[in-house]
Amino acid sequence: MVGIVIVSHSKNLALGVQELAVQMVQGQVSLAVAAGIEDAANPLGTDVMQVYEAIASVLSDDGVLVLMDLGSAVISTEMALEFLSPEQRAKVHLCAAPLVEGTLAAAVAASTGKNIHQVMAEAQGALGAKASFLGAMNCPLSVHTPHSHHHERKTHVEVPTREIRLTVNNRLGLHARPAAQFVATASRFQAQIFVQNLTRGSEIVRGDSINQVATLGVRQGHELLISAIGGDGEAALAALQALFINNFGEDDSTVEPLPVIEEILPPTQGELAGIAASPGVAIAPVVHYESSTPVTITEYNIENVEVELQRLHTAIHTAKQEIQTLLSHTSIQIGDAEAAIFDAHLLFLEDPVLLEAVEQRIFDHHLNAEAAWQIVVDEVAKSYRQLEDSYLQERVDDVVDVGRRVLRILLGDLPQDLDLTEPSIVVAADLTPSDTAKLDPSKVLGICMTSGSATSHSAIIARTLGIPAVLGVDAQVLALEDGTMMALDGEMGKAWVAPEAETLGRLEAKRQAWQTAQAEAKARAHQPAITQDGHQIRVLANIGSLADAQLAMVNGAEGVGLLRTEFLYLDRANAPSEEEQLAVYQAIAQVLHQRPLIIRTLDVGGDKPLSYINTGIAETNPFLGVRGIRMCLENPQLFKTQLRAILRASVNSNIKVMWPMITNLTEARAAREIFTQAQTELRQGGIAFDERMEVGTMIETPAAVAIADQLAKEVDFFSIGTNDLSQYVMVGDRTNPKVATLADAMHPAVLRMIQQTVQAAHAAKIWVGLCGEVAAETLIAPILLGLGVDELSVNPQAIAPLKQAISQLTIDEAQALAKVALKQDSALSVRELVYPIG
């Protein structure tokens, strides 16, 4: 008989569900619970070993169905599977059904002797009865799901819903990365999320399906209707709305268009025209690459459906592991933005609509896994190709990429990585994003493909890697022999086979000029920022990960002015341990090579809540609630754990620590007291740390500015956070689009706050940094320097332009400009001082 495991953050909830199920089946079914953690102060959470033990206790040849409540419970469950043998793991099935209804339905189905797949189907359909019962209520939804070419499936439910209408502001709409964020956020809640593109008049689709969301064809300016059904629907909609308000974390201002080619030359011998995808010149022998050997899928009937389903699930699990490894590699080697492409790949493999469609073909038609998988993947790819939007059409490359990966695993083929013995130009029909992310720029000097476009994910990754690329060339290049000399110009979108001496000379000169310009730009970025009259201004980086630190060093950062530590705490079931934090801080400090590393202690609350920290009340205005240092002081052990990790990491490093959201001296002194306690504990334990570590505070509230003269006596430095300071000074929530424009750091009221802070700090002989986003605006920099700020900290990509801007001004000029700015009557009039009008 099928066993059932209930995984929940709440032990009381799980035991209650278990009791209901036991009563319904009179103890006929084995039910185990893995819920809560052994922490009296914070009992909510999940424990990997507890989940493993629960699964092992009910494991049998009939299989185990695991039901989970929240997103991090899923992570704990997946980690627990790693402790099982492959044979045992094959018998465990994770189910996305609602916890209460799904458990009860599964228990009843198991008690009647149904197999694991039938039990799972009953669990996943558990809300149907409730929906029918509540059918007299509000709003009918007709939810479209992908279907086979034999028939359609539609589910009609009539249940009360909550809904919001949101407009998409992203320049490229809901392409893969924001779509992945949308689905990941929707999937964190128990509520069912549905989406409709009102602008296109689309059908309603499921919000937890990456393919259905991506194929809505959502572009900039489109209006979406988002509906939620379930108890936490309101919270789900609020979380989704926050994504839209924050523009899905994308900074469209940094998108650089491909250069316009003004030089028009007549075609030369061997010249091939293509698409300019990644700038630069490459001259090298050709090597051919096929990401996967074309195969013909044989469709046949299978006898044992369960074995075939398990083959599919095992292949998908292996594919997830491969993609996770690739994601980590890409994040470290290339950057978090590019790595986010593979978040969408993972979500593709978790798409419930797609998986249900494949399982249905295997179960209903007794098709082999390879055939069923390929049929459904082809249908999804077709739905992308049919979109009117050319940019979204190109996302089919990602679908094909993931589809090929699972198919390769099902067929037992090994990955085909490119192994070059000498620098070459890679010629291929196409390169998937996975292929491109693994390329070594020291060996792959250029890319020449017969397909693709400048906006494909492969092209984006090639540009980030700095590999010149020409796409869409004539297919005749595929017939070239390996070793044939080729030249390509990724800026002009041209390639030459066996180029003539004249062409070769011209391209070689251009390549050398380009390489010289790149080297000079890189060298300037690593030089100090010194004004025309000899004042050096330190330029550091704002970072939120190890990969950011590496990128900052490449871009010439003189250290890190703000390490946001929230990335260690968010999207997990419990707080990171001291050892886990220590490893991260040490790794970042090692990348910096004794350069300053200013670590801001945990700053959550407001728009960054932690699921495992209960403030005890529902905050109607969390930006004015328990956030920043307030939350840390309310959770002293959590705070001390972080401080111990920071102190331990300071050995042989240049680490400083600072407090977020200080509003009064009591908070600053209380934080210092816990810091002192952590130091004492380490000394008593014989654990080394930097005894002279500097302690600073963020200045990001009007209260902190008002008492800056007093705070300056308590700390070693100030760091002005203009993002929060602006919203608190102007009483304008920067996440609320109706008032966000008020929170402009260039408003004279905010500028006067900056000036007052600098004056108080310098009077106390401590230095002042500024780490708000406004520092990245090169035309604004003179005003900030004129107000007396000692150092600026910006995102890594802004470092080189900022240094160049500083080198072109004098402090006298900056001070004169700042005086004029302080006398203006609005942020607009201040900006008109430095920005061209019209």
Residues annotated as part of the active site:
457, 771
Please give the full DSSP string across 661-678, using - where no structure is assigned: S--SHHHHHHHHHHHHHH
Residue carrying the six token digits 């064809």: 217
Name the DSSP letter for residue 272: E
Please give the full DSSP string across 787-802, using - where no structure is assigned: TT--EEEE-GGGHHHH
Answer whether 451's CB lies under 8 Å from 429's CB: yes
- DSSP three-state, residue 372: helix
The alpha-helical segments, DSSP class H, found in 246-368 are 305-333, 336-349, 352-365
Of 631, 784, 814, whose CA–CA distance to 722 is shortest?
Answer: 784
Token code pair at residue 463: 């540009």
d(CA 341, CA 337): 8
Which residue type, as a one-letter code, is found at position 209? Answer: S
Token code pair at residue 684: 């008593």
Residue partners of 38: CB distance under 8 A and separation at least 6: 47
- DSSP three-state, residue 658: strand
d(CA 286, CA 300): 40
Answer whether 432's CB lies under 8 Å from 400's CB: yes
Answer whether 232's CB lies under 8 Å from 189's CB: yes
Of 252, 237, 240, whose CA–CA distance to 170 is shortest?
Answer: 252
Name the DSSP letter for residue 80: H
- DSSP three-state, residue 95: strand
Residue carrying the six token digits 């900006």: 831
d(CA 468, CA 453): 13
- DSSP three-state, residue 633: helix
Please give the full DSSP string across 714-768, using - where no structure is assigned: T-SEEEE-HHHHHHHHHT--TT-TTTGGG--TTSHHHHHHHHHHHHHHHHTT-EE
**How many Cβ atoms from other residues are within 10 Å of residue 337's Cβ?**
18
d(CA 439, CA 417): 9
Answer whether 674's CB lies under 8 Å from 681's CB: no
Of 55, 65, 155, 184, whose CA–CA distance to 115 is shortest?
Answer: 65
Sequence-separated contacts (24+) of 135-139 with Cβ below 8 Å: 135/159, 139/163, 139/227
| 489: enclosing H helix or E strand | strand 485-489
Token code pair at residue 309: 């389903």
Sequence-separated contacts (24+) of 419-424 with Cβ below 8 Å: 420/287, 420/444, 422/285, 423/284, 424/284, 424/285, 424/286, 424/287
Distances in Å between the alpha carbon of 114 and those of 5, 68, 106, 109? Answer: 17, 21, 9, 6
Of 289, 312, 352, whose CA–CA distance to 96 is shortest?
Answer: 352
